[in-house]
């Protein structure tokens, strides 16, 4: 379905995006910032017809979506180093955090998976319009996903409990790979439940994220399968 531009939608300046990402330690190029701005415009345009996000303004998309997604990138880079990384974004919805990560790290391959067809249609449109050669869009339940190769990182933003996230995706993690669960407040009850439901999974880090312009709490839970003993 073709989505027409609306004069009511605010624009987000690429220079503003680049400047806003600096406190995260990210130096986006002009081209990357421009692509991010086009992504925001596309997301808001589609949102007038499809329910992709409850956020209506570009300023809130910047803080609550773009910067919120990019806040995990330095931690991904720290753990993975300079190597090309295969990332799976589970329940990607409007492309978060996968699209911002793919734009900011063009040497990574990012797969976006969602079970809702209209959301995958948006993701495919974003891939085409933004020329994201390192993005793949998949319409599927993540439990049914059977890729040709496994992922170094499986990331999810407000997808499910930690136990459910691990259960649904453990068959997709490459040896030595990581789960990155993006949460709001520190999910202590979920962390306790994970110890019971998945004793072979260890929580490596629980990181309090600092998202520029966002007062609400954000945490990143980094998990990995325990090494086999003996």
Q: Among 108, 105, 12, which residue's Cα sits nearest to residue 61?
A: 12
Statement: residue 3 has pLDDT above 70:
no
Q: What is the pLDDT of residues 164-180, one digit of tens each?
A: 999 999 999 999 999 99
Give the pLDDT confidence score for residue 184 in this predicted structure: 96
CA diameter of the chain: 64
The structural domains of the chain, with segments of one domain joined by +, span 63-225
* Average pLDDT for the chain: 91
- Distance, CA of 20 to CA of 178 (rounded, Å): 27
Q: Among 79, 77, 61, which residue's Cα sits nearest to residue 16?
A: 61
- Which one-letter DSSP state was computed for residue 62? I
- Distance, CA of 160 to CA of 158 (rounded, Å): 6
Q: CB-based contacts of 162: which residues, under 8 Å, 6+ apart?
A: 181, 187, 190, 191, 193, 194, 221, 223
Q: Which CATH superfamily is domain 63-225 in?
A: Vaccinia Virus protein VP39 (3.40.50.150)
Q: What is the pLDDT of residues 195-218, one digit of tens each?
A: 999 999 999 999 999 999 999 999
Q: What is the pLDDT of residues 82-111, one digit of tens each?
A: 888 999 999 999 999 999 999 999 999 999
């Amino acid at each position: 379905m073709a989505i027409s531009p609306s004069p009511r939608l605010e624009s987000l300046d690429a220079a503003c995006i680049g400047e806003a990402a600096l406190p995260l330690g990210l130096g986006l190029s002009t081209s990357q910032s421009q692509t991010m701005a086009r992504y925001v415009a596309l997301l808001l345009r589609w949102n007038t017809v499809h329910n992709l996000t409850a956020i209506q303004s570009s300023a809130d998309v910047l803080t609550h979506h773009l910067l919120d997604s990019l806040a995990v990138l330095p931690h991904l880079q720290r753990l993975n180093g300079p190597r090309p990384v295969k990332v799976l974004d589970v329940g990607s919805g409007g492309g978060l955090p996968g699209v911002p990560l793919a734009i900011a790290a063009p040497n990574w391959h990012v797969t976006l998976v969602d079970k809702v067809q209209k959301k995958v249609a948006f993701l495919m449109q974003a891939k085409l319009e933004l020329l994201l050669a390192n993005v793949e869009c998949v319409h599927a339940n993540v439990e049914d996903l059977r890729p040709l190769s496994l992922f170094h990182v499986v990331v999810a933003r407000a997808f499910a409990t930690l136990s459910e996230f691990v259960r649904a995706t453990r068959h997709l993690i490459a040896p030595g790979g990581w789960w990155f669960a993006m949460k709001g407040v520190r999910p202590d009850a979920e962390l306790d439940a994970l110890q019971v439901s998945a004793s072979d999974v260890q929580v490596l880090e629980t990181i309090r994220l600092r998202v520029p312009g966002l007062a609400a709490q954000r945490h990143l839970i980094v998990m990995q399968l325990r090494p086999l003993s003996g």
